[in-house]
Structure 1
């Protein structure tokens, strides 16, 4: 780490919910991941998780690929993506044959994006080095789940949370003790696109404020918040159970990330899925 703990940019900053800034990926440690998991940190930004040249190479490959999207009846404004999300199959209560088919297609496409190799391999190696143990796919009914969805979010994302054991119970063969999200930014616009992470979990009393897949921002009024605006090549890790949102982009450029969840288990390895 840079040695400087950055207070959040809100007027109600909390000394135990802050943004930590790593100058290089080598400064990310197991302790930082654990501090996120227990709620002491709001987010960790890893500067230079990859080089701009690596990102440019991946983006060039994406220029020739067609993005799919979440179901706009569920997710609006639309978010383009490559690869399946477990969220896509909550209504089916299981990962269907379609999930595995989309996963196979996404793995074939992604496998050629970085000089003929898969950029997810880079992400897993760098996280595993910090964790000091294996990073392995989460499993569902004995099968490795897909991890490493590529997403483009031009119009922002509503305030929401992600917690697979609450929203999709029983889908993971091993229940993680904690959940984190890692977003590696392959491209960022000139302005906007910030991620806001609140020190606030979902509560049943929030349901009257539901707005489609997300919630009215009234539920986080006066809550401590960590705000981070990464640059191309940076990565950001935070606890996905906390309510979080993405600001709309401004100016030139695209907001494209490779994203996956990290499950901290009672054993050594980290689990990953999307």
Structure 2
């Protein structure tokens, strides 16, 4: 069946002074493309985070899996998923504890992840809790430096771990990013109004997809802003364009809306 080329008037980007419960609900429902809060972090907080970055153990992804160079700190659950859709718990918990220890040693004076979780919890009306596996809190709050771009892809915990992973059941997933350094040009995030369907596998490329997967789908483009924060639903296909110079560094986490109406967080 051919895809429609009509435009959804609700699939737009909203700029706001702060995130609200309505923003989160609309993103979870899939009726809004993205919400941005300019100046979410002030310049001193961004500068402090960049200083601490030099004290964090960062590493590149395996180029065989991620063909564009991405520098990272902190474990993401999807990096520890085996071919059967289960978590390699031995490697994951080891790396999660090492990342927490490194974070403490870095001595970040102002913690961007703590700020984000507090404000998102305030917006929702209840504190954000860490997702847990067997009662054990997972790691939340990675750092990514993406200068060479990221392939078109999606993130969906329920599809990535179809047998279940968390103690909590997740109804909808949101992606949060806050930038502490941005390039003068490039590094734009694009979000398409398209979610995975079986035919997309014809366009599979490494961990992501070739442009034919999104074709003429409606999209929004979002340039990174220093200190700016972004929320969107990562079940929608999305990608990052390369930037010709400078550094594009963001702290990131996922939020999950659970069956009990709570928000949980992970990376």
* TM-score, length-scaled by structure 1: 0.90
1:110 and 1:119 in contact (8 A); partners too: no
Q: CA separation in 2, counterparts of 1:176 and 1:192? A: 33
CA distance in 2, matches of 1:200, 1:56: 36
Which runs of structure 2 are paired with 1:187-226 in the superposition (5 Å)?
Answer: 187-226=181-220
Shift of residue 118, structure 1, vs aligned partner: 3.6
Count the aligned residue pairs.
Answer: 259
Question: Does 101-110 or 54-63 show the bigger shift?
Answer: 101-110
State the distance in 1 between where 2:42 and 2:74 align: 24
- CA offset at residue 153 of structure 1? 0.5
Q: CA separation in 2, counterparts of 1:61 and 1:54? A: 11
Give the aligned partner of residue 240 of structure 2: 246
Q: Which residue does the alignment assign to 1:145?
A: 138
Task: Give the equivalent residue in structure 2 for 1:46.
Answer: 37
Asked whether the 8 Å contact 1:45–1:230 carries over to 2, the reply is no
Q: State the alpha-carbon separation in 2 of the partners of residues 37 and 64 from structure 1.
A: 35
1:269 positional shift = 2.2
Give the drift of 1:69.
2.6
1:170-221 deviation digits (Å, cap 9, x = unpaired): 2122221101100111111111111100110010111111001000111111
Distance 1:113 1:239, change over 3 A: farther
The answer to whether the 8 A contact 2:56-2:103 is kept is: no
Structure 1 stretches lacking a partner, 5+ long:
1-10
2:256 paired residue among 241, 259, 263:
263
Q: Distance in 2 between matches of 1:66 and 1:114?
A: 14
Structure 1 CA distance, aligned partners of 2:159 and 2:234?
12
Cα separation, 2, equivalents of 1:118 and 1:45: 20
SS in 2 for 1:250: coil
CA contact (8 A) 1:54 1:114 kept: no
The answer for the alignment partner of 1:171 in structure 2 is 165
**Preserved CA contact (<8 Å) 2:121 2:127:** yes
* Aligned-pair CA distance for 1:57: 0.7
Contact 1:70–1:88 (CA under 8 A) maintained in structure 2: no
Q: Is the 8 A contact 1:133 1:268 kept in 2?
A: no
Give yes or no for contact 1:188–1:232 (8 Å, CA) kept in 2: yes
User: Partner residue of 1:100?
Assistant: 93
Question: In the TM superposition, what is the alpha-carbon distance from 1:113 to its structure 2 partner?
Answer: 4.5
- Quote the residue 1:62 is aligned against: 53
TM-score (norm 2): 0.92
- Over the aligned positions, Cα root-mean-square deviation in angstroms equals 1.7
Q: Which residue of 2 aligns with 1:4?
A: none
- The runs of 5 or more residues in structure 2 that have no matched partner are none
